[in-house]
Amino acid sequence: MDARAKQQAAVLAFGRRTTVQPPLNVLLEDAAAMIAEVLELDRIGVGQVVESGSALAFRIATLAKQGVLTDVLHHQYSQDSTCSMAAYTLQAGAPISTKNLLEETRFTDLFLRNMRVGGALMLPLVVGGKPFGVLGVFARQERSFTMEDIQFAETISYLLISSLARIKAEEELQQHQSIAQSVMEMIDAFVVTLDHEGRILQINPTLQKIAGFSLEEIQYRPFWDVFVTPEQVEMIHTLFRKTRSEKNPIEFESHLLDKSGQKRRVCWTLKPLAEGNEQKMVLCGLDQTETIHLKEELRKVYQRTQQTSKVIQELCAGLQTDPTSISPALVAALHELAQPIERQPLPFHPLRSFIPDEHRQFVRRFYRYRQKIAPYSEGQFPRPEDFVAVQCKDISAGGIGFFMEKEPSFRRLVVVLGEGETASYFLAEVVRSIPVEHQGQNLFLIGCKFCGRITPPPDFKPAAPSK
C-alpha cells in the first residue's frame, strides 16, 4: 500500500473509531498512534491543559507492536512557550515540526531532550476556541517531515477536535439537564413541559405528589384532558394558541384537578421554549389554595375579634358601674362568642408558626392592679382572712393572670374584682403555672379561667382594702 492509500485508510479507520465514543484518554492516544504508524514512528506524546490553565500535563510513550503503549512517562510543562515544544505549539496554534530537537532555537525542551528525541512533529488541539492540548510524534534520530506528512497529521487532529467538541457539548448538555432536573425536584412550584400540541412531556415531583399522578399515567396526554376542569378547557385552548402565535409568556389563573377530582387554585405562567414545529412550552404554576383558605380564616378571626372587643368593652363598663346591671342579651352574646369558630376541613396542612399557642380565645387586656384571691373548697366559701393580695398581669372575659411567689397548691379559687361592698366574686380554675422573672424576682405566672360568678354568704365581711 502506497503512502497516500495508507493515509486514506488511517483517516477512515480513525473516523470509525470516533463513532464508538471511547474514553477521552484512549481517543487521544489512538489519534497519536494512528499518525505515528502511518509516518513509521514508534514514539508518541499526548498533552492536556490542566483545569486551571496554568500548566500542561504531558505523557510520552513507546508504540510497540499491535498498538500497545509501553514505557509511559509523565511530565508537567508550564505555559512558557520558550521552555517546551508543547507550549510553543499551543501558542502558535499551528503544527510545529523540527528536524532535530537538539538544534532547535525557538524553544528549549529539556524533558524531550532527556528522552533523546531527534525529529518531532506536534499539533495543537483547540476546542471551542480554547486550548485543550497537543498531539506529538517523535523520532529517535533526525527526521524531516514533508508537507504531505503534516497535512495528514493535521487531518487526524481535526477529526479528533470534532470528536472532542462533541464530547464536551454532550457533557455540558448532560450537566445542564442534571441541574435542571435537580431544580425541578427541589422547587415547590408545579412545572409541566409540553410539546407544541399541549401534550405532557414531563411533570416535576411536586406536581406528581400533589396531583396524585405519575408521569407514566399522563405522559403524551393533552394537559387540558388531565388537569383542567371542563368549564375552563376552552380558555386554556385559547391561551395555548395565543402563546404559539405571539411567542410571549402568558400568566393566568385556573383550577387544577387532582386524581381524586379535588380542585386547587393555581396561578400559571406559560412560556414557549423553542421556535418551529418542534416548539416546546413550559408551564409553571404556584398553588394558591392554602393562601385563599388562610385569607378566609383571617377574615373570620378578624370579624370575631371585632365582635369580642365590643362585648368586652360593654362587660368592663358594666362591671365598673353596677355588676348587677349586665343584661341577659350581653351574657348571651358573650356565650356565643365563647364558642369556637366553625372551620371547614382544609385540603392542606396548616402552616407552621413561630407564635406560641394562645391559651385564651378572648382578647387580653392589661390589668396592672392588685386584687385578692383565696383557695376554694367545694361548698365552703373562703374566710376573709384566707384572701391574699396578688399582682395581676392581664384579664379577659374568660380569665385572669397574676403573679405568685410559689406555685399554688390549690386547683380552684375565688377571685375578687374590686374592693369593699362593690367587689365582685368569681369562681376560677388554675389552668397553667409558668416560672417567670418579673421586676427582678423569680415568680410564677398563674393563668386562671373564670367558671362563673359566686355569691359570698350573708355573714361574710370583706377584709380591709389592700394598700
One-letter amino acid identity for 110?
Answer: L
Q: Are 203 and 215 in contact (CB under 8 A)?
A: yes
Q: For each of the domains in the chain, give its residue range(s) and CATH number, in order of start.
A: 3-172 (3.30.450.40), 187-287 (3.30.450.20), 289-346 (no CATH), 360-467 (2.40.10.220)
Residues 6+ apart with CB under 8 A from 368: 391, 392, 393
* Structure confidence at residue 240 (pLDDT): 85
- So what's the pLDDT on residue 149? 93
pLDDT of residue 402: 94
Question: How confident is the model at residue 459, as a pLDDT?
Answer: 85
Number of other CB atoms surrounding residue 397 within 10 Å: 19
Q: What pLDDT is stored for residue 186 in this prediction?
A: 59
Q: Tens digits of per-residue pLDDT, 400-459?
A: 999 999 999 999 999 998 877 778 889 999 999 999 988 889 999 999 998 888 888 888
Q: Which portions of the chain are predicted below pLDDT 50?
A: 343-361, 467
Quick check: 266 and 286 in contact, CB under 8 A?
Answer: yes
Task: Return the pLDDT at 32.
Answer: 92
What's the pLDDT score for residue 92?
A: 93
Per residue in 212-223, pLDDT (tens digit) is 999 999 999 999
Q: What is the tens place of the pLDDT at every residue in 354-383?
A: 333 344 445 567 778 889 999 998 878 999
d(CA 314, CA 337): 14
The structure's pTM equals: 0.47
pLDDT of residue 463: 72
Query: Residue 325's pLDDT is what?
Result: 56
Q: By C-alpha distance, which of 379, 365, 450 is closest to 416?
A: 450
pLDDT for 316 equals 65
